[in-house]
Chains A and B, each alone.
Chain A
Amino acid sequence: MDALFLDFYHNTGFYLWDYRYIIMIIVGMVFIYLGIAKDYEPLLLVPIGFGMLIGNIPIFKGLGLGIYENNSVLHYLYFGVTQGIYPPLIFLGIGAMTDFSTLLARPVLMLLGAAAQMGVFLTFLGALALGFEGNEAAAIGIIGGADGPTAIFLTAKLAPHLIGPIAVAAYSYMALVPVIQPPIMKLLTTRKERLIRMEEPRDVTKREKIIFPIVAFVLCCFLAPAALPLLGMLCFGNLLKEAVVTERLAVTARTSLIDIATILLGVTVGASTQGDVFLTTASVKIFVLGALSFGVATACGLLFAKIMNLFLKTKINPLIGAAGVSAVPDSARVVHMVGQREDPTNFLLMHAMAPNVSGVIGSAIAAGVLWSLMAH
C-alpha cells in the first residue's frame, strides 16, 4: 500500500518539479495576464500562455504526454508547427481580412515595408556575431520581420530546435509593439514631422483590388520562389476576399480557419517551451536579439521615410515608416496613436496600413530569400 502511494507520488508534479518549470509557469501566467488584463495581443498571448502551463507541468517521461514524446497528442498537434502547416493557413486568413486599398492608392509607401526588413538582415548579422550558426542566425533574424507565422515557418525549416524561443520572442515583441515602438518614433522624429498630414488617397477600383493579389504573387514568387507557401496563401486569401463571388470561402478563411490555426499554433508553441529545453543561454540571446531587431526594424522604417521626404514633393509623415514592420495592424495602430498625441485631428491609421501590409509581403520575401540561401 505504502509502496503504491510512493510510486504514485513519484509520478506527480510535486515530486518531479524543477525550478525551470516553475519559472516557465510564471512566464505563462504573465502572458495570460498581459493578454487579458492589458489587452496585449490577447488572441495570441492567451493561447501561448496557457500552452506554457500545459508544457511545463512536470510529467513522467514515457507516458506519451509531453510535446517532445513521439506518441503524444501534443506531439501530433505540434506537427503543424514543425512542418510549417499552420503559418500558411494563418496567412490565408490574414489575406482574407486585409484591405490593400491604401497600398494600391500610394504604391510608393511599399518601400517603407522593404526598408523595415533591414532589421531582419542586421539581426542576422548580430546573431552570427553572437556565435549562432548561419541557419540559426537566419531564423533569429526573421524575428525583426515582426511576423509570428513567418518566424515560425522559417524556423521550422532552418532551425526546428529553436522554434520555442523564437516563436515566444516574436509573439512577445509583437504584443509589446505599443511599448517598444513609441520611444523610438519620438527619438527619431521632430514634432514638426509628426504633425505632417498625409494626402487623401485616391479611390481604388474593385478591378485593381482583384488583380493586385495575382500580380503580387506572380511577381514576388518569380523573384523569391521560397516565399511561395506564405505569399501564395496570403494572395489567395486576398483574392477570395476581393472576388466577392467567393465570399463564403473568404469568411471561413478569416474567421474559423485562422482561429483554429491560431489556437493550435499558440497552444503548441507555448507547450514547446518546456523549462528544461527552453531555459538556456541561447534563449536569452534570442530574446535580446529579438528586442534589438524590433527596434532596428522600426528605426530603419522611420529613417527611410525621412530619406524619402527629401525627394517627395508631397511629404509623408515619417511615423508611418515605423509601420513597415509587419505586426498587422498593431504597428499601424501605434503610429496612429503617436500621431494623434501631437494632433488629435490627424488620422494616420489608414495611411500606416500601406507600409504595414507591404511589411507582411516584405517579411515573407525576406523569409523566402533566407530559406533558399541557407537551405542549400
Chain B
Amino acid sequence: MPKRLLQKTMKARVFCNNFKSGGGHLYGLESINASNGWAISIVGISIVFSGLVSLSLVISQLYKVLALYEDPSKITAFFKSKKSKKVDEKEGEKIITIVLTRSQKETVKQFALLARTLDDHFSLPRLLHLAQISGIKDPYPSLNILLKMRIVESDENGFFMWKNEVSDRAVR
C-alpha cells in the first residue's frame, strides 16, 4: 500500500475519532472527505483492476508458453528469419500425415486415375463430378482428405493440381 495514503487514512481516523468523542457526527461529503474515502476508493479499485488485468495478461500468454514447452522446436523456429519461417510453415503444412485405411488408399488411387483424365490445372467441381458419376464411395469426405493431405493443391488461381509425389507416398 502507498505509505502516504496509509498516513492520510490514519490522520483521517484520528480526526474522526476526535470529532466523535467531542459529540459530533459527520455525514455526507464531509464524512467521506474526513475519512479519506475518495482516495481509498480510487486506490482500491485501481489495485483490484491492476491485479486482475495483470492476471489476465499472464493467462493469455500462458498457453503460448506451454505450447513452446511442449514443442521446443518452435523456439528455434521463432529465432529464424521471417522468410524462412514462412517457408517452414508452408512445409509444415505440407507434412500433414494422415494414416489412410486400405479402402481410403483405394479411393485415392481411383481419384488419381480420374485426375489423369483432366488437365494439369483442373476445377474442383469437375473432379467431384467425375468422382460421383464414377461411383466412388463418399466423394466429399474423400476429397476433403485429399485436400488436407495436399494431394490436391490449389494453384492460387482458382484451379487445383494433382500432386503425384504426395499421392504415391500416401498410398504406399
Contacts and interface: CB of A to CB of B under 8 A. Distances in A.
Contacts of B43: 369, 373
Contact of A111 (B52, B58, B66): B52
Contact of A373 (B31, B38, B44, B51): B44
A133 B15 CA distance: 11
A188 interface: no
A113 interface: yes
Nearest to B69: A207
Nearest to A359: B52
A157 B41 CA distance: 19
Interface stretch (B6-14, B85-93, B132-140): B6-14
A220 B51 contact: yes
A219 B55 contact: yes
User: A interface, by DSSP: helix, strand, loop or mixed?
Assistant: helix
A212 B9 contact: no
A244 B41 CA distance: 40
A120 B55 CA distance: 20
User: B interface, by DSSP: helix, strand, loop or mixed?
Assistant: helix
A326 to B, nearest CB: 12
Nearest to B42: A121
Interface string B97-116: 00000000000000000000
A14 B62 CA distance: 65
Given A129-B32, A134-B16, A224 B55 contact: no
B7 to A, nearest CB: 9
Nearest to A361: B52
Contact of B40 (A122, A220, A373): A373
A190 interface: no
B45 interface: yes
Contact of B27 (A131, A211, A224): A131
Contacts of B36: 134
Interface in B4-40: 5-6, 9-10, 12-13, 16, 25-29, 31-32, 35-38, 40
A124 B12 CA distance: 15
Contacts of A281: none
B49 interface: yes
B95 interface: no
Nearest to A134: B35
B140 to A, nearest CB: 24
A243 interface: no
B164 interface: no
A361 B55 contact: yes
B27 to A, nearest CB: 5
Nearest to B9: A373
Nearest to B49: A114
Contacts of A103: 59
B37 to A, nearest CB: 5
A104 B62 contact: yes
B40 A223 contact: no
A235 B24 CA distance: 45
Interface of A: 103-104, 107-108, 110-111, 113-114, 117-118, 120-122, 124-125, 128-131, 133-134, 137, 204-205, 207-208, 211-212, 215-216, 219-220, 223-224, 358, 361-362, 365-366, 369-370, 372-374, 376
Given A361-B51, A370-B40, 10 more contacts: A111-B49, A114-B53, A133-B16, A137-B35, A216-B55, A219-B55, A223-B47, A223-B54, A362-B48, A376-B10
